[in-house]
Amino acid sequence: MKHAQELRIIPLQFEKEIQPGDSLVREVVSALRRTKTAFRPCDILVVKHKIVSKLEGQIVDLAKIEPSRSSQKWAQQYGLDARVIELALTQGRRIVRRKCGVLITETRHGFVCANSGVDVSNVDGGRHALLLPDNPDRSAARLHRDLKKHLNLLIPVIITDTFGRPWREGLTEVAIGIAGMKALHDYRGCRDPHGYPLRASVDAVADQLACAAGLVCGKLNRVPACIIRGFAYEPGRGTARDLIRPARTDLFR
């Protein structure tokens, strides 16, 4: 029987706003130093996608967006910003639902979320919108590699966004980019303590880690990242694509 160990979630408070071209590793290491600890071999770094998008310049001047007639009409009906709707439509590859003032799309990456992940909060007060990173797995891999160079440690990296969900109220964090660990833990083939085979037991550990991080990375404080210490992750070439259900097994397309 495996013994469970305590988990710690250590918030990383940044001193300044991230700017395009900043060194994220340097910010992370200096934030961690202020908490009077250093990286340890079993740590996982979880980062909100917003600072990654800012760093990578995934930012759009809303003044330059010309919304279509249909975006204008729909935005007006629900008191929304037509430019954000227009941008969301260009960032999606499929509209999943457009109803009651909510636009759910499938992004180029395959994520199903509101407004293709286009966000105006926590940017600069409404003039610019932030897009998802172009390739969040690649962004995670870059940070993973930079941490290795800097610290000589293999620290898995998870990049998160905040998604809504069908049937349930409220938003939760999900993993949209992963490097250095598996996204899913597969218990199929294992048996429970009574010897009963576990059938439907694949845990979305990267999403659960994202949620745990969401408890310390708030919207109103400047904590865009945290360390999760003590989780027995499965090392390997993880990808956020493993968390996207393929069309053929998706009951809700």
At 148, is the secondary structure helix, strand, or coil?
helix
Min dist CB 120 to a second copy, Å, is: 7
Size of the residue set binding a second copy (CB under 8 A): 80
Residue 72, number of CB atoms within 10 A of its CB: 15
> Does the protein bind a second copy through residue 61 (CB under 8 A)?
no
> Does the protein bind a second copy through residue 168 (CB under 8 A)?
yes
> Does the protein bind a second copy through residue 4 (CB under 8 A)?
yes
At 43, is the secondary structure helix, strand, or coil?
strand
Piece of the chain touching a second copy by CB under 8 A; list 66-74, 133-141, 142-150, 165-173: 165-173
State how far the Cα of 151 lies from the Cα of 153, in Å rounded to an integer: 5
Of 55 and 142, nearer to a second copy (C-beta) is: 55
Query: Which residues are 1's β-sheet partners?
Result: none
> Does the protein bind a second copy through residue 190 (CB under 8 A)?
yes
Contact (Cβ atoms closer than 8 angstroms) between residue 106 and residue 94: yes
Give the one residue of 100, 149, 152, 189 binding a second copy; rule: CB under 8 A: 100
Tokens at 75, concatenated? 């935005």
Q: Kindly identify the residues of this chain, within the stretch 132-161, that bind a second copy according to CB under 8 A.
A: none
Tokens at 244, concatenated? 């996207």
Diameter of the chain measured on Cα atoms: 62
Give the one residue of 46, 52, 129, 205 binding a second copy; rule: CB under 8 A: 205
Query: Which residues are 104's β-sheet partners?
Result: 97, 114
Give the one residue of 152, 217, 236, 238 binding a second copy; rule: CB under 8 A: 217
Handedness of CA 111, 213, 165, 102 (dihedral sign): negative
Min dist CB 68 to a second copy, Å, is: 22
> Does the protein bind a second copy through residue 63 (CB under 8 A)?
no
Of 29 and 184, nearer to a second copy (C-beta) is: 184
Min dist CB 242 to a second copy, Å, is: 6
Of 140 and 226, nearer to a second copy (C-beta) is: 226
Give the one residue of 158, 231, 238, 239 binding a second copy; rule: CB under 8 A: 231
Min dist CB 12 to a second copy, Å, is: 9
> Does the protein bind a second copy through residue 121 (CB under 8 A)?
yes
Nearest CA among 115, 126, 61 for reference residue 85: 115
| Spatial strand order in the sheet of 102-107 | 92-99, 102-107, 112-114
Distance of CA 161 to the CA centre of its chain: 3
